[in-house]
């Protein structure tokens, strides 16, 4: 593989990674951002973000992260898309970063790979993925115009997506293991008052059924009551998240769920390696928080590099 040497490699092109890249490029660091897809991360698939400061009318997730990308590239950030992180080794002063395209020597690394939706692991989930089973309402809602869909989960993401689906489907059924939503405030009020919304309380999905496509769900009662079968045209799953840390397992210390452990300055267990955004243990999974993480990680990475070079400003 080709050999390259840079000041900082940023792994991940979501809000945390783009912000870290922006700050580092603006500081005239030699920085390369590598991303497994196109830049943007999970927010790029969010129909509307209403709680990011400075946008009182809200903004689409794609537009927000695209503005971040354009701003970062304007300061000279190099982005290598479809070139995922495949491995990381602690080589002392120079970290060895392996991607799909190259092996890169870096004085510092910012890990901002984010996370992905967890799967239910029930019969029918894999079989009907893409044929009625989805993890992204913004991507697939239009396929269910005037249909009946289920949303599994009761947190903020599940309710946001259920509300978006209600623009297309004639009925949206939220399946939740509790007797009330975990999403609070405005989201809960909107869901409970939406005439297209129905709720299957204290239920879990036992099986996803269908023929060529999804036709129904078998729901188990958490209190031991009889199973219930409901007819749906599709099901959207929001039951948790898995950190994208497989490629750094064994190099940096992870918590019991696989998220990267950091200190208050976002330093990992490996000197010169920092973590930011949703991939970090203790993150609150909000775009504004990820941006803040990106700033802190970038400043600490910059100081680390400059200290190595003997040019750190104290």
- Residue 221 catalytic? no
Q: Counting beta carbons within 10 angstroms of the beta carbon of residue 5, is it exposed (0 to 12), middle (13 to 18) or buried (19 or more)? A: exposed
Q: State the catalytic residue, choosing from 30, 66, 90, 136.
A: 136
Confidence of residue 193 (pLDDT cuts 50, 70, 90): very high
Per the listing, tokens 């002063």 go with: 93
Q: What is the mean pLDDT of the chain?
A: 93
Instruction: Check: CB of residue 119 under 8 Å from CB of residue 223.
Output: no
Specify if 265 maps to a domain.
yes
One domain for residues 140 and 232: yes
Q: State the catalytic residue, choosing from 140, 233, 278, 293.
A: 140
Per the listing, tokens 């309710």 go with: 159
One domain for residues 92 and 6: yes
Q: Per-residue pLDDT averaged across 50-57, rounded?
A: 90
Q: What is the pLDDT of residue 185?
A: 87
- Residue 140 catalytic? yes
- Identify the CA nearest to 45 among candidates 108, 168, 117, 138: 138
> C-alpha distances in angstroms, 148 versus 136, 173, 191, 204?
16, 8, 16, 18
Specify if 300 maps to a domain.
yes
Nearest 5°: CA angle at 159, between 157 and 163?
120
One domain for residues 24 and 95: yes
One domain for residues 109 and 182: no
Q: What is the pLDDT of residue 66?
A: 96
- Residue 136 catalytic? yes
One domain for residues 156 and 52: no
> C-alpha distances in angstroms, 189 versus 150, 178, 185, 240?
19, 17, 6, 22
Quick: pLDDT tens for 229-255: 999 999 999 998 899 999 999 999 999
One domain for residues 232 and 246: no
One domain for residues 233 and 124: yes
Q: Per-residue pLDDT averaged across 49-66, rounded?
A: 91
Q: What is the pLDDT of residue 31?
A: 97
One domain for residues 197 and 126: yes
Specify if 104 maps to a domain.
yes
Q: What is the pLDDT of residue 45?
A: 78
Specify if 81 maps to a domain.
yes
Distance CA 140, CA 262 (A): 36
Specify if 142 maps to a domain.
yes
Is the pLDDT score of 2 beyond 60? no
Q: What is the pLDDT of residue 5?
A: 81
Nearest 5°: CA angle at 265, between 9 and 93?
45
Q: Which structural domain, as residue segments, surrounds residue 87?
A: 2-116+241-309
- Identify the CA nearest to 39 among candidates 61, 20, 15: 15
One domain for residues 143 and 174: yes
* Least confident window among 16-20, 85-89, 138-142, 196-200: 138-142
Instruction: Check: CB of residue 151 under 8 Å from CB of residue 157.
Output: no
- Identify the CA nearest to 141 among candidates 168, 162, 117: 168
Specify if 314 maps to a domain.
no
Q: State the catalytic residue, choosing from 93, 139, 227, 263.
A: 139
Quick: pLDDT tens for 152-173: 999 988 999 999 999 999 999 9
One domain for residues 36 and 76: yes
Q: Indicate the DSSP class of residue 259.
A: P
- Identify the CA nearest to 278 among candidates 82, 65, 116, 88: 116
Instruction: Check: CB of residue 213 under 8 Å from CB of residue 129.
Output: no
Q: Which CATH number characterizes residue 263's domain?
A: 3.50.50.60
Query: Given 217, 237, 257, which residue is the final one in a domain?
Result: 237
One domain for residues 246 and 97: yes
Q: What is the pLDDT of residue 1?
A: 42
Name the region of 215 (left: φ>0; alpha: ψ -120 to 50; beta: rest).
Answer: alpha
Domain count, the chain: 2
Predicted model pTM: 0.81
Quick: pLDDT tens for 267-303: 999 999 999 999 999 998 889 999 999 999 999 999 9
Confidence of residue 314 (pLDDT cuts 50, 70, 90): very low
One domain for residues 139 and 77: no
Query: Given 211, 237, 263, which residue is the final one in a domain?
Result: 237
Compare 194 and 139 and report the one with higher pLDDT.
194
Query: Given 237, 268, 287, which residue is the final one in a domain?
Result: 237
Which token pair is 34?
């590598």
């Amino acid at each position: 593989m080709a050999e390259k040497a840079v000041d900082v490699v940023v792994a991940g092109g979501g809000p945390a990674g783009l912000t870290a890249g922006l700050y580092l490029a603006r500081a005239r660091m030699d920085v390369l951002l590598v991303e497994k897809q196109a830049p943007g991360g999970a927010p790029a698939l969010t129909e509307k973000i209403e709680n990011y400061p400075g946008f009182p009318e809200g903004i689409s997730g794609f537009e927000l992260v695209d503005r971040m990308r354009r701003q970062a590239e304007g300061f000279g950030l190099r982005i290598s898309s479809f070139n995922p992180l495949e491995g990381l080794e602690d080589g002392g002063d120079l970290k060895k970063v392996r991607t799909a395209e190259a092996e890169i020597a870096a004085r510092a690394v910012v890990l901002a790979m984010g996370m992905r939706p967890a799967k239910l692991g029930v019969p029918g989930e894999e079989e009907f993925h893409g044929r009625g089973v989805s993890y992204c309402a913004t991507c697939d809602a239009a396929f269910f115009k005037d249909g009946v869909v289920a949303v599994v989960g009761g947190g903020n993401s599940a309710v946001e997506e259920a509300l978006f689906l209600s623009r297309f489907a004639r009925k949206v059924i939220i399946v939740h293991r509790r007797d009330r939503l975990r999403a609070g405030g405005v989201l809960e009020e909107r869901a409970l008052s939406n005439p297209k919304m129905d709720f299957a309380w204290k239920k879990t999905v036992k099986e996803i059924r269908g023929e060529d496509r999804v036709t129904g769900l078998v729901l188990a009662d958490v209190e031991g009551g009889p199973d219930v079968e409901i007819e749906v045209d599709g099901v959207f799953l929001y039951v948790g998240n898995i950190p994208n840390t497989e490629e750094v397992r064994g190099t940096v210390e992870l918590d019991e769920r696989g998220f990267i452990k950091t200190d208050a300055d976002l330093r990992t267990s490996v000197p010169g390696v920092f973590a930011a955004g949703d991939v970090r243990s203790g993150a609150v999974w909000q775009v504004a928080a990820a941006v803040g993480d990106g700033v802190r990680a970038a400043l600490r990475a910059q100081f680390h590099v400059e200290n190595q070079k003997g040019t750190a400003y104290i």
